[in-house]
Structure 1
Amino acid sequence: MKKTNQKWIVSLALSVGLLAACGNDEQTSKGEASGDYEITVGLSQSAGGTLVDIAHQEGYFEEENISVNRVGFANSADGLNALQAGKIDVGLTFGTAGPLTFIANGSDFSIIGGHLEGGHPILTKKENAGQYTSLESYKGKKVGTIRIFTSDIVFRSALEDAGIDWKNDLEIVEFKTGSMLLEAVASGKVDVAVSANSFYAQAVDMGLEAVAWSNDLQEGHVCCRVVTRSELLAEEDGEAYKRFLKALIRAERKKIEDPQSAVTAAKEYMKVDEKVINTIVNDSHSNYSSDPSREKVVQMWEQMKEIGYVENVDDIDVNDYVNIDLYEKALNELIEQYPDDVYYKDQLVRFNEQNI
């Protein structure tokens, strides 16, 4: 969206004011910034958005003349409902399964980039951790998940591939938020929790232990995608969103070269100990990538169909909902701006491999 003088929404602290239209799960506060374009980004309250944090900290948004407002949500469903309702322009940390579920139900969303791959823990009490040595270990257990969490899809698909009937061989209990899920496993209401990276630090603090990671079940699976309403991309050929992606690409590079930059950037929004922040943003199981990775998105869509997570969608070609053009344009502009920089050329090679 074109603009002249707007404000930067910066804090995800729990004490800030709520936007009444979206209920009590949404949080926002204000700071200062300006740019030629403005977009409002929805992300996780518990972990923020690592690449957005870095892009702001390093001034990449300013250099792209774009102001980025931040709004935090307690769960993916609330965030995606806000996107559909026009309360935000971009969803950043609402997984892959979430946007695809909305698309299956008729939402005209476009996935235009990425943020995270892998990194989601399966958690239980420390004293029970030794019980879980393989997928067979989950038979007869009560397993907590969050509906439309990407880790939920990865877990159910892995069980299906292993010949385990997740509808009958175990009991899956769905929760609305990550915090409710952790409380359930800590109190013994469920035996194990298929959680998310954004809640890992909280889980460790509660005495829980990871017995496996989503990467173990499906190597390199995609998670958080950059998703928007398709109609917004018609505005000036998606110029604002291309600029947003350019900043994320640069932020991805900064994080690779200087992992501490992610901690420094997140400290402005996450009012917890620096060690806790590092656990969230620099965990070795989490791979931050801005590439849309259409091939992996399509793979997850097929998995969701196979396990019956989405139904009656044979008339939907999910490729129509993954826009790779803006990311490619963003990369090519960076290559043109920095012709001697091998990094961006390498990212273009990766892009061509992952977005056939």
Structure 2
Amino acid sequence: MKKTIILLALVMTVILSLTGCSENTGNSTPTDAPASTVEALQSDELDKKELETSVIRWNYGTSGNVMLAIAEKMGYLEEEGLSIEVVPATANANAMALLATGKVDIVSNAGTSNPLQQIASGVDLTVFGGHMVDGCMPVIARKGTGWNGVQDFIGKKVAINPVYFAFTGAVMDLGYEDPLSAVEWVVYTNYNDALAAVVRGEVDYALQGTGNMYAVTQMDEVEIVTYHGKVMPNYSCCRLVAQTDFIKNNPNTVKALMRALIRAQQYYEANKKEVVALHAENMGVTEEYVAAFMLNENFVINPDPLKNSVIRAWGILDKTGFLNEKAKNIDILDHINIDLYKAALDEIIEEYGSKDPEFYERLQKFYEENNL
């Protein structure tokens, strides 16, 4: 083998920080904020430029946020009058607790299922944007296993937490009403353990995190058979989430943030190799490590809210029993805001659209396909 499991464990211990969709949260209630409602966000309030707050407390877990890093580096946030206060959290649960208790304003790396489960339990959160659409999370198996599609999971041992709705949803799409029984889902505490289980032959397949890409590609014992995003396109990976009151009380601040992130998205797509170096420096890892996922076609970032994907995820989680019973009385549409992103997109296209018309045309089309 090129790399021993011992070496892999060392590498993964140092850089597991970039695992896909590591979950974290944040929230706050700014002072002197104007009262408004979600409906008011479609009114003249959107046209006001004065920020309600200029400092945003943000949790992006241990894997960072590429668009945010670019927006800071290129001065887009400064131009909008914004600054970011990073609030760390060591685990997904800690991040969600930060958000629920108002100790951070925005969380960007908490996945989709965690925020939706919080909403289902009665926490008033709103999805208003996105981070990763597809986190370049590989599904691995022992070398030579091959792949014919999700049907290969049926009756097999699969090291994937079934709360990952893309996989249970794909199994249901095959006609299985109970995906939890059709597959033997084996849950490990981390991706390293799942990887080791594949190598030992204890499971047939395993999902790996974004940050495992480099290590997995250095191993002779395993192969990548597919990716999370191949199983369910635009599965929504990581959403931008805040307490609903933060969105209501800070529409101009949120819209300004989205403008900065949209510009960062354009810069990212035009300068990926440069961004690899930037993100590697920010995260304290090698460029080879970052390039393993960032230059892969299965790593897709976009600040779009992906309303349709969030609704799909809510439905799958509900059908598979991963939502609180309170979810039956909750309309998930009340917890998705696409208005601020769309307003920001329109403004950016008007101001910068001529500089990269092809990019902004794609972004507009992407919005229409995933939100309308």
User: TM over 0.5, yes or no?
Assistant: yes
Q: Which one has the bigger helix percentage?
A: 2
Corresponding residue of 1:175:
188
Corresponding residue of 2:270:
257
Instruction: Give the 5 Å matches for 1:73-84.
Output: 73=89, 75-84=91-100
Structure 2 residue runs without a partner (length 5+)? 1-12, 16-22, 25-52
Corresponding residue of 2:351:
337
1:320, distance to aligned residue in structure 2 (A): 0.7
Counterpart check, 1:163 vs 2:175: yes
Corresponding residue of 1:113:
129
Residue 155 of structure 2 aligns with an amino acid whose one-letter code is G
Counterpart check, 1:95 vs 2:124: no
1:346, distance to aligned residue in structure 2 (A): 5.2
Deviations 1:61-103 (A, max 9, x none): 1221211133454543332222112232211122112211111
RMSD value, Cα = 2.8
Query: Matched residues in 2 for 1:135 and 1:275: separation?
Result: 30
Corresponding residue of 1:246:
259
Query: Matched residues in 2 for 1:308 and 1:209: separation?
Result: 32
Query: Matched residues in 2 for 1:134 and 1:339: separation?
Result: 40
Identity %: 27
Instruction: Give the 5 Å matches for 1:133-148.
Output: 133-146=148-161, 148=163
Query: Matched residues in 2 for 1:301 and 1:82: separation?
Result: 22
Instruction: Give the 5 Å matches for 1:245-324.
Output: 245-312=258-325, 313-324=327-338
Corresponding residue of 1:63:
79
The question of whether the paired residues in 2 share the 8 Å contact of 1:186 and 1:206 is answered with no
The question of whether the paired residues in 2 share the 8 Å contact of 1:146 and 1:178 is answered with no
Structure 1 residue runs without a partner (length 5+)? 1-12, 16-24, 27-35
Corresponding residue of 1:219:
233
Structure showing greater relative contact order (alpha-carbon pairs closer than 8 Å, 6 or more residues apart): 2
Counterpart check, 1:355 vs 2:371: yes
Query: Matched residues in 2 for 1:276 and 1:339: separation?
Result: 33
Residue 294 of structure 1 aligns with an amino acid whose one-letter code is K
Query: Matched residues in 1 for 2:166 and 2:353: separation?
Result: 39
The alignment of Structure 1 onto Structure 2 pairs a total of residues equal to 319
3-state DSSP of counterpart to 2:133: coil
3-state DSSP of counterpart to 1:284: coil
1:231, distance to aligned residue in structure 2 (A): 1.5
3-state DSSP of counterpart to 1:200: helix
1:184, distance to aligned residue in structure 2 (A): 4.0
The change in CA–CA distance for 1:183 and 1:69 in structure 2 (over 3 A counts) is: farther
3-state DSSP of counterpart to 1:228: strand
Corresponding residue of 2:243:
229
The question of whether the paired residues in 2 share the 8 Å contact of 1:122 and 1:211 is answered with yes
Corresponding residue of 1:32:
none
Which range moves more in the overlay, 51-60 or 160-169? Answer: 160-169
Query: Matched residues in 1 for 2:343 and 2:103: separation?
Result: 27
Query: Matched residues in 2 for 1:113 and 1:56: separation?
Result: 18
Deviations 1:188-210 (A, max 9, x none): 44332123324323433455432
